[in-house]
Structure 1
């Protein structure tokens, strides 16, 4: 093959290559249907929404052909739809939702600064170290008499865990009444007050709550420690982002010129026949 023949073949190959050049953008028209444009951006968004694994694994050219065919069919069929008030309302709701979601995504893209993370961490764990946590076990029964009887057994030398396992009706019974570690605000007030009045190793008199009668043994106490920032960094970061997004949304709403139409009947929400009007 001569050099001129090779050159001609290269030119022909270039001319027959897809029209989408490197300069193509999201507004690049890939097809028209009765004058309505289908763009590259629409194709890209459609691909992002694919949930069928089989389609997602298709070669680019095959997927391109399938999606373009679907969009062409969709566009052709859409032209036959009646432009009712319901259709217009749905399109406008979708448009607003898409724009609002895009705005929120843009706000959330900014990574929190170290100063913001530290400030949120300090605020969240400001009270850590001043909150007492308790490790306790209890026996739960349905009467004061039964609770007093079991308390007497424990006072007489019976093992608390063994008595709890044999008699407690609560879910902790099979685990010898063990409640693990908890703060006072995690328990109902009468129980929390009784625990706070005990010394480690001490067993309470019967205590009544909405769940029944308790005999409580306090094992030990400790001051709650704040976890290291590195350990909760991801959670703190998400919290900061949520707060920033909410603050920006509130700022936009506050700055918006909102006028509510007064005097409308809320029962009109049920007037679905209005959606059929053109």
Structure 2
């Protein structure tokens, strides 16, 4: 059996990128949304409009009512804003598909807020303390968000993409077949048989002990670092259509290798890498903002017992 350098089995076909949209139930979405609201703080229960630096001002004429709850309105913009705050996997689902479930979550939240006001929860000391703490967090995150939006531009993302991909393009991948046997003598006999005109795929089906044997020994395309070193070295040294003239020994046995094709694997596109780069830049800028604030502030620390921390 051939495994990757990381100990994983190699797939028998070319590596393909795919985007799978997650399935969701309305119950799952409700719990996810409610958890996000709780993480955001109690201001939601007061019916405060969520702050979003990314959202443009919405004119009343362009912001229709999505629902009413005992006369209280839920605007379309609240639904789209809530959608933008969902975890990334939910944002892969089109808004049109997730809209009914998201609106139901907002209705339930509005019902709770109306009930909370009637019970004057927002006037309690506990609520006010939590609201003050939430305000502190919101102010801090808004400051960082402003810096991120000012600096994480399309131009900045493109520049970082060029930097990280400059050495990624042109990486060679090999499409190979192999025949795995237990002994060197068996491998030599296979090489002699192939040199006499035997078909490689047919011979692999008959004699290979590896899991790819029934597939004609086909391992598909693989890049460097995916196979054990001895196998990789031999495979990448062969030209297209060539076969090893001597057996190749690995921890799995003795191999006869044939290279069917070689190709250059292009770097991932900006579209593919853009979200990851944007997230990375955002983290870096957030860390820089925090570092600058610490360097210009006078900070005193105290231990749990009240003594000054060193």
TM-score by length of 2: 0.51
1:78–1:115 distance in 2 versus 1, CA, 3 Å: closer
Aligned residue number for residue 197 of structure 2 = 157
How far does residue 112 in structure 1 lie from its aligned partner after superposition? 5.3
Aligned residue number for residue 237 of structure 1 = 274
1:137 corresponds to which of 177, 188, 192: 177
How far does residue 160 in structure 1 lie from its aligned partner after superposition? 0.7
CA distance in 2, matches of 1:69, 1:226: 53
How far does residue 190 in structure 1 lie from its aligned partner after superposition? 0.9
2:225 is the alignment partner of 1:180: no
Q: Which runs of 5+ in 2 are unaligned?
A: 1-44, 51-71, 87-97, 306-310
Where in structure 1 do 4 or more consecutive aligned residues deviate above 6 Å?
49-52, 62-65, 90-97, 258-264
2:251 is the alignment partner of 1:206: no
Aligned residue number for residue 123 of structure 1 = 163
Number of aligned pairs?
216
Over alpha carbons, which structure has the higher Rg? 1
Q: Retained in 2: the 8 A contact 1:133–1:181?
A: yes
2:262 corresponds to which of 221, 236, 245: 221
Q: Which runs of 5+ in 1 are unaligned?
A: 1-36, 265-278
How far does residue 74 in structure 1 lie from its aligned partner after superposition? 7.5
Deviation digits for residues 198-254 of structure 1, max 9, x if unmatched? 233222122222343321101233344456xxxx23223223312321221221343
Q: Retained in 1: the 8 A contact 2:249–2:255?
A: yes
Q: Retained in 2: the 8 A contact 1:55–1:63?
A: no
Q: CA RMSD in A?
A: 4.7
Q: Secondary structure at the match of 2:257?
A: strand
1:141–1:107 distance in 2 versus 1, CA, 3 Å: farther
CA distance in 1, matches of 2:153, 2:102: 40
Q: Retained in 2: the 8 A contact 1:206–1:213?
A: yes
CA distance in 1, matches of 2:256, 2:227: 14
Aligned residue number for residue 249 of structure 1 = 286
Q: Secondary structure at the match of 1:152?
A: helix
1:71 corresponds to which of 92, 97, 116: 116
TM-score by length of 1: 0.56
CA distance in 1, matches of 2:265, 2:275: 23
CA distance in 2, matches of 1:214, 1:93: 65
Superposition map of 1:7-156 within 5 A: 38-41=46-49, 48=82, 56-57=103-104, 66-72=111-117, 76=121, 102=142, 105-106=145-146, 109=149, 113=153, 115-127=155-167, 131-156=171-196
Aligned residue number for residue 269 of structure 1 = none
Q: Retained in 2: the 8 A contact 1:108–1:241?
A: no
Aligned residue number for residue 208 of structure 2 = 168
